[in-house]
Structure 1
């Protein structure tokens, strides 16, 4: 098992933060989550490597185990899920044993047990990677396939064979690039698919709302970390457009970008924007604030109670409404970012219509 491009680098975090006149001490939750994620990934890889050595026949058809979600974004908290997919050309006969996954969930984060994948059916399955690139668009491109493909770009990390993970990313990226008329063009095929996924999860959020069932945390996740992950997924395309002459190998640039944690992509976008430091700092600190709060089980409980008890109050207050106000400011800041002098032309040409 090799070391994957984009693996967590404390020095890179510090360098990018310094360009915004921020220090790691000013975003402690973000930096702590990144360190926690890196340690958890390293621990999982060692456990899987040991299992492979001891039980080679059990995993002979498995090409990789890929994690998603907060772990892959390097925003892991003790309350996170372990969302994963097993990658194989023979998915029907290559399920990873539950015992190894359960052991990983219980030991990745000291003193905590990560939750099992949710009940949507997106994760905790074995898939053939070919389905991600052979079904882009039209009826065969189901919500499941779209979600898995875009999340492979936005937030995925290998727990087994990083070089195979990179190969899959390379195939996905090149499928989008091959649809262009000429090299150097902005890959609208890729851009539109990322936008389509963002709109899909926004619609799905509304469709899943049922009466008095918990919804506050899902709403806040949509408005802050998922929105920022969406913006970070656009970042390589903005930066490519900003200085296309610098990128001798577009596939390598895009693949390397998508192998980086989403927060790194976001900070690269911020530091190249030409916007003032205070705006850049607010955006990063909002992510830090969410990670800090979502690490607290009591806060997660309180926001669910708060959203229902104050929803008809004209001047609501409480933990949900506090972070809701931050999300509104974040939306304003991101709008200013995307319409800044350096990014306005891309936004107007590719994002508005």
Structure 2
């Protein structure tokens, strides 16, 4: 990727999300990537412009495509249409805007903070992370001793609800092959997507309960971990033995999920089998129920827990 690295230089970064970032990739996993450039436009007028030109971004995408094929990695999902290129302020300032979800800036922003790792342009990547956290923690200076990260928590919940709504709205039930694909997506939604969002909320609840605040450094530490690493950290640091039991159970259930998704064709056939599909349905509900119990135990009816629920 030396050519792509040269084009990006100090202008932009490429970061990976999904199963590769979570260190869970299997033979059938594809690579989920985003490109974010330093903004050179007029922010006050919302005229955003990436320092990486569109032509150079196209060449970077071409390098990424040829490299993944050389390595035997599955082609990018959606024929490459999801390799989005944004300017930094475009994904930061879109927060709360009506078209945040439409432009895919919601997903780009939250996945950058919840499950991402830089492939190219690590310096720019760190700058954008800091700028994002500054946006969410803009009121921190006036509330250092009792800062509640409700702004960030609500955006995480919005991402989770968006995942759920998009699944229901965009998943086809006919014909048979699309129905099978939809069942696989649903199974992943209720495990990996849930864990991405709720491992962060669990982490925030635990730190807030102990410190009665949650500072930007706490957020940076959380961002640096994969979802399962957050669970491992919680098992080691939580003061609640009951919560540790639920967290350990979550890891066990998630391990079973990863094993079952290692062969998607076999998984799809099993999810369509009238006798086996009920077992898989029970496993998804068990994972969600265990997550709920962990949230309840760690939240402990704290102020942050209350704000995330109501």
| TM-score interval, smaller chain | 0.7 to 0.9
Using structure 2 for the length normalisation, give the TM-score: 0.82
Alignment correspondent of 2:309? 352
- Equivalent residues of 1:339, 1:347 under 8 A apart: no
Question: Within 5 A, what are the aligned runs for 1:152-301?
Answer: 152-179=112-139, 181-183=142-144, 184-212=146-174, 213=178, 214-244=181-211, 250-271=215-236, 272=238, 273-275=240-242, 278-301=245-268
Go from structure 1 to structure 2 and tell me whether the alpha carbon gap of 1:59 and 1:276 turns closer, same or farther (over 3 Å shift): closer
Go from structure 1 to structure 2 and tell me whether the alpha carbon gap of 1:233 and 1:76 turns closer, same or farther (over 3 Å shift): same
Alignment correspondent of 2:295? 338
Gaps spanning 5+ residues in structure 2: where?
38-49
Alignment correspondent of 1:134? 93
- Equivalent residues of 1:84, 1:117 under 8 A apart: no
- Cα distance in 2 for partners of 1:104, 1:276 equals 43
CA deviation profile, 1:93-125 (whole Å, cap 9, x unmatched): 4314444212332355xxx4223133694x312
- Equivalent residues of 1:228, 1:266 under 8 A apart: no
Alignment correspondent of 1:51? 3
- Equivalent residues of 2:15, 2:119 under 8 A apart: yes
- Equivalent residues of 1:194, 1:230 under 8 A apart: yes
Go from structure 1 to structure 2 and tell me whether the alpha carbon gap of 1:347 and 1:98 turns closer, same or farther (over 3 Å shift): closer
Alignment correspondent of 1:42? none
CA deviation profile, 1:215-256 (whole Å, cap 9, x unmatched): 111000111111111111213321331222797xx2122112
| Deviation of the 1:140 alpha carbon | 4.4
Counterpart among 15, 27, 37 of residue 66 in structure 1? 15
DSSP-derived class of the 1:230 partner: helix
Alignment correspondent of 2:76? 116
Name the structure, 1 or 2, with higher relative contact order (CA <8 Å, separation 6+): 1
Alignment correspondent of 1:27? none
Gaps spanning 5+ residues in structure 1: where?
1-47, 311-316
Using structure 1 for the length normalisation, give the TM-score: 0.73
Counterpart among 49, 56, 67 of residue 104 in structure 1? 67
- Cα distance in 2 for partners of 1:69, 1:341 equals 26
| Deviation of the 1:352 alpha carbon | 1.8
Go from structure 1 to structure 2 and tell me whether the alpha carbon gap of 1:93 and 1:170 turns closer, same or farther (over 3 Å shift): same
- Equivalent residues of 1:338, 1:344 under 8 A apart: no
- Equivalent residues of 1:155, 1:262 under 8 A apart: yes
| Deviation of the 1:52 alpha carbon | 5.1
Go from structure 1 to structure 2 and tell me whether the alpha carbon gap of 1:70 and 1:166 turns closer, same or farther (over 3 Å shift): same
| Deviation of the 1:291 alpha carbon | 1.2
Alignment correspondent of 1:34? none
| Deviation of the 1:65 alpha carbon | 1.0
Pairwise CA RMSD: 2.5
For structure 1, which segment, 188-197 or 158-167, has the greater mean C-alpha deviation from structure 2 after superposition? Answer: 158-167
Alignment correspondent of 1:36? none
